[in-house]
Structure 1
């Protein structure tokens, strides 16, 4: 039988946990403060249109409501599952930070124009807080952050039905952003690779 995971009072006594949690939260706040300016720059750059045989045969529809229901229900499930597990939560936060840094890097390296037939995704929360630009942000393409985030949560929660639900949500959101033509197929297919890389790269943060 596996021992129970450490509790908040237990890990809070460890200096390494306190300073690493504080550092990760500080870096996330710093990153969030810079993302609006960065995405405005991404949107202003000229990019390339990629050939995408799947999107060419897939009619575009507005499925924003379904997409963000899946996203926010998945995030809620992940957060509720991780809150009583401080070490897993710490690693998930560090992995999320790394995921965003990887995404900023790929957006810088691969400037793209939106796929033909794009239907704007309407997210009232992110549109107000992160994408504060005069025009809608449509060029934050490679890789799909929504797909990667749900998969990252699936990796972060313990094995069981929570992980299965989040894996299903990952597949659903990948399909929905393609139906919306909000991403190229390549963006969605690459997301699991970067989510796994971010999770692997975050393992140092919970080592004493």
Structure 2
């Protein structure tokens, strides 16, 4: 059977890379999503520098006021990077799901830049710096720490997005548990307001839904479980 014909009759989530890559619409969408993510990454350092210099407001947060601050950076990033690695190991052999996830991640960060711009906040009282070994180097890119990237919690939203990107089986429940744990840990760190954490799953879900519609319209894949 010719490759293109096999691609049409195979379940979308089980398409091998050669079959997916043979579709021009898939190639265009994949390369465009990667290109836009790289462009966004290049523009984030000056954006975060602008946020840090801008005056903001301190919100009343009864939960944080009652919660002693502790530095839990290490368990936070162990959870985050283990979750990212495990999810990528699942997505990489599944080009349709990977494409959906890439567009969702791009849309998530576009939404986050919008909310950060619209909601100027100063950090919570008792903030302890959350040291991210990768983001601090590649995205913040400045000598001064960034503490005003608050609404909404990017770490919590990313973990929730990973949970949506895998089938609703053991993978998803494990990632949802990791999402809840990371949300709690950034509050213990006082790195975010409670509102930032509670809003994160909403924006992650919206991004994943919008990305699904975009992929279906531009590439023609349908939603099926792997």
TM range (shorter): over 0.9
**CA distance in 1: counterparts of 2:45 and 2:215, whole angstroms:** 27
- Rg (Cα) greater in structure: 2
Q: Does 1:199 align with 2:208?
A: yes
Gap runs ≥5 in structure 2? 1-9, 221-226
**CA distance in 2: counterparts of 1:132 and 1:10, whole angstroms:** 39
List per-residue Cα deviations over 1:8-28 (Å, max 9, x = no partner): 111111110000001000000
**CA distance in 2: counterparts of 1:45 and 1:134, whole angstroms:** 17
- Name the counterpart of 2:57: 48
- Name the counterpart of 2:26: 17
Q: Does 1:185 align with 2:194?
A: yes
Count matched residues: 207
* Displacement after TM superposition at 1:55 (Å): 0.2
**CA distance in 1: counterparts of 2:42 and 2:143, whole angstroms:** 17
Equivalences for residues 3-14 of structure 1 within 5 A: 3=11, 5-14=14-23
Dislocated runs of 4+, deviation >2 Å: none
Q: Does 1:136 align with 2:145?
A: yes
TM-score, length basis structure 2: 0.89
Please give the secondary structure, in 2, of the residue aligned with 1:122. coil
For the aligned residue pairs, the C-alpha RMSD in angstroms reads 1.2
* Displacement after TM superposition at 1:7 (Å): 1.3
TM-score, length basis structure 1: 0.97
Aligned with residue 124 of structure 1, among 105, 119, 133: 133
**CA distance in 1: counterparts of 2:39 and 2:60, whole angstroms:** 36
* Displacement after TM superposition at 1:159 (Å): 2.2
Q: Does 1:152 align with 2:161?
A: yes
Q: Does 1:27 align with 2:36?
A: yes
- Name the counterpart of 2:176: 167
